[in-house]
Amino acid sequence: MIKYETERYIVSQNNGKLIGQEKEHNVLKKDDVVLIQKLKKGKELFKSVSDAFDKIEAESIINKGDIVAIKVNIGGGIDYVPVTYSDPEICEAIIKKLRIMGANPFVCEANMRARIIHDKLLKIRGYFDMLKRNNCKFVNLSKYTSVEMHCHHLTIPLRLPEILLKPQVKIVSFAPPKHHWECGITCNQKNMYGAIAEFRKSKYHRKYERIDRAVAAAARIMSPDINILAAYDIGTGVGPHFIYSVENFDRMIISKDMIRGDKVASEILAYPFHLVKYAMINTKGKNIDYSLHPDSSWPDQDILKQIKEHVMAYGEVNFWKPILYLQYFLPHYLQIKMFPQMEFFFTWINREFYSN
C-alpha cells in the first residue's frame, strides 16, 4: 500500500514496515538565487535573519500553518567549541521568523555513531534553555518511525526518519559551514546526512566511496526547502574535529537550492567545488551556476585570506580518509561507549592549539 509519493520518492507500507524507493528526479531547483546576508548581533540579529528570508521570498515556500523541521547540526560538533555546531542564537531567530510567517517549527537532529542526542548535550550546545524559552519542541530523529529507503548509487538502504518524508512537512537546513577532513566541506548537503535515523552510521563508511554516495542520497531524498549556512565565526582546518576559528565571518548563506548554496560556501571556504564528491554525484559531474542576490555581502578579503590559509588541499583530504577508515570497523557498541569519553580530549586540543 502506497503511503506517500512525491517527485523524489515513493513510500509503501508492507506488513507494518515502511519501504521507500527513490525516483528519477531533478535534484537542482529552478530558483538559482543565493543570498549572502550580513549578520548583526544582539537585538539586531532577528532583523538580519528576517530580512534574509524576505529577500529570497521564503513565503513562496513556507505557508501559514506549515509544519517546519529545522535540521540543525549539533551532533557533529565538539563540546564547548561553538564554531563546530549550529549557533543557538541564530536558530532562535529562525524559529521566531517562521512563527511570524505562521508556520509551526520544531528543531531536530539524529543520533550520531558516537553521540546520543540527549538533554545534557542540548544544554552543552546552548539549546535546552533556548528551546524551553521559545516553547519549541526538539525531536530526536532516531527515536521515531523510520523508512528503509532504497536510493540510487547505494547498495544498502538508508534508514530515514518518516517525519522528514511526510509531504506536508517543510525542511529548513541550518548548519555552520566548515572544512571537513573526509569530504572537503560540510554544508547543506552534508547536514542532511546527519538526519539519517540510523545511529550506526559507520556502515556508510565501510566501503570507501559509500560515504559520499550516502551523503548525496540523504540530501536528495530529504531535500531542504530553505538552506541556511550561518555563523559568526567560521570553522577552517582539519574539520570537524580540529578547527581554526576565523572570527567576524558574520554571514548567512541562504538559498532554496542546497547545491547552489554549497557552491557559494565552497568558494568562501576556498575548496574547489568540483572536488566535493557528494556534490558531483548530485550534479552528475556537471558545473552549475548560481545567481548571487544583488543585496549580498561577500566576506571581506581579510576574512577570505585567513580562511584560505587553513584550507585543506585535496591531497590532505585523501590523506586523512584512509587513515580514518579503519575506525569505522569497530563494533558499534564500542564506538558509542568509547568515543564520548574522549570528547574532553578534542575540546582540550581545540582550546590549546587551535585558539578556540
Read off the pLDDT of residues 187-205 as tens digits, 9 standing for 90 and up. 999 999 999 999 888 888 8
Q: What is the pLDDT of residues 248-291, one digit of tens each?
A: 999 999 999 999 999 999 999 999 999 999 999 999 999 899 99
Give dist(CA 151, CA 217) in Å, integer.
Answer: 6
pLDDT at 76: 84
Return the half-sphere exposure (C-beta side, CA atoms, 13 A cut-off) of residue 212.
19
Which has more pLDDT, 340 or 206? 206
pLDDT confidence of residue 340: 72
For residues 140 and 110, the answer to whether their CB atoms sit within 8 Å is: yes
pLDDT averaged over every residue in the chain = 93
pTM of the entire predicted model: 0.95
- Give CA–CA dist 268/168, Å, rounded: 34
311 CB contacts (<8 Å, ≥6 apart)?
179, 236, 269, 270, 271
Helix boundaries (H) for the chain:
45-55, 88-100, 119-125, 128-133, 188-193, 210-221, 258-268, 277-283, 301-310, 314-325, 332-338, 343-353
Model confidence at 331: pLDDT above 80: no
- How far apart CA 57 and CA 19 sit, in angstroms, is 35
pLDDT at 155: 93
pLDDT greater than 80 at residue 12: yes
Reference 153, options 230, 61, 225, 220; nearest CA is 220
Q: Give residue 356's pLDDT.
A: 67
Integer Cα distance of 293 and 306 in angstroms: 24
| Cis? peptide before 82, omega within 30° of 0 | no
Q: By the 8 A CB rule, do 220 and 257 touch? A: no
pLDDT per residue as tens digits for the range 13-70: 998 899 999 999 999 999 999 999 999 999 999 999 999 999 999 999 999 999 999 9
The pLDDT assigned to 189 comes to 98
Residue 23: left if φ>0, alpha if ψ -120 to 50, beta else—which one?
beta
